[in-house]
Structure 1
Amino acid sequence: MIGIIDDDIIYQFTLMKIINDNKPGARIITFPNGKKAMQYLKDNKATNENIPDVIFLDLHMPIMDGWQFIDEYARIKIEIEKKVNIFMWSSSVDPVHMERASKKSEISKYITKPMQLEEVKKFFDNFESSYFLL
């Protein structure tokens, strides 16, 4: 399962389209902010198949931004029995954000928006298909 946490519905739609083009049949769940996603994780932590294998996490969102989500996730991840790969997804090219993300063990990679189609294909080619459960 793939989770998308982003308040921009255009980016949500675009990423869902790219995922579907590269991994047809992949289960995708979307959230408009970190708070709703965090509540979902807390409510489903006992059911591995309901926890995303991969999360694309926007940095700048209202209510709970990407950093706040990561801090909260760090507190609850021990209760989730599955490895979740979190890709911070942002239009920010600020080196401070990239450096901060690189120091968070919960973040697998920092990805700059918008992702180019070639970059997305490379991402899916390099990332193990087992993470995208149907």
Structure 2
Amino acid sequence: MIDQKIKFKRVMLIDDDTIDLYIASRIITNNNFAEKIDKYTSAIKALLFLQENQDNYALLPEVIFVDIYMPLMTGFEFMVEYDKLSSDFKKLCKVYIISSSIDENDIKRANEDCNVIAFQVKTITKEFLNSIL
């Protein structure tokens, strides 16, 4: 019965800050938002997983939360590579930029990306999760 309350089978969290990753995963779990949470501290590793499995929908997330400022590959660089994934996968997956940045340029850039549903200032909240259909 508890499965009926869970919104999504899988979500992916990408954030180099392990504390933010932990807090977001706890909020997602406590609000029955997802059955499975794939956590990545590296956007490169998350991207590799998506590239290797883009045709295996059972392994892929329905929602991705990605931070902007990370070493080696930023959230914006991740989104450039994400755009190259299969269009079928991208139709099934919703991407949200999650950041502590309140820089208007970051918000504008995120909102202009056709693959980004919305920009959310950290941290993820129950209200924010409830707004995602």
Aligned residue number for residue 91 of structure 1? 100
* Shift, 1:79, TM fit: 5.9
Aligned residue number for residue 131 of structure 1? none
Letter in 2 for 1:30: K
Aligned residue number for residue 73 of structure 1? 82
TM-score normalised by L of structure 2? 0.86
Aligned residue number for residue 106 of structure 1? 115
Check whether the contact 1:4–1:30 (CA below 8 A) recurs between aligned residues. Answer: yes
SS of the equivalent of 2:118 reads: strand
* Shift, 1:125, TM fit: 2.2
Aligned residue number for residue 70 of structure 2? 61
SS of the equivalent of 1:23 reads: coil
Distance 1:38 1:45 in 2: 10
Structure 2 vs 1, CA of residues 27 and 75 (structure 1 numbering), >3 Å: closer, same or farther? same
Aligned residue number for residue 36 of structure 1? 45
Distance 1:89 1:41 in 2: 19
Residue of structure 1 aligned with 2:35, choices 26, 31, 34: 26
RMSD: 1.6
Aligned residue number for residue 132 of structure 1? none
Structure 2 vs 1, CA of residues 94 and 35 (structure 1 numbering), >3 Å: closer, same or farther? same
Structure 2: gaps of 5 or more residues: 1-9
Structure 2 vs 1, CA of residues 99 and 42 (structure 1 numbering), >3 Å: closer, same or farther? same
Structure 1: gaps of 5 or more residues: 129-134
Aligned residue number for residue 131 of structure 2? 126
TM-score normalised by L of structure 1? 0.86
SS of the equivalent of 2:13 reads: strand
Check whether the contact 1:19–1:26 (CA below 8 A) recurs between aligned residues. Answer: no
Aligned residue number for residue 58 of structure 2? 49
SS of the equivalent of 2:114 reads: coil
Letter in 2 for 1:107: V
Letter in 2 for 1:71: V
SS of the equivalent of 1:75 reads: coil
Distance 2:31 2:129 in 1: 7
- Return the structure number with greater relative CO, CA threshold 8 A, min gap 6: 1
Report the identity percentage. Answer: 28
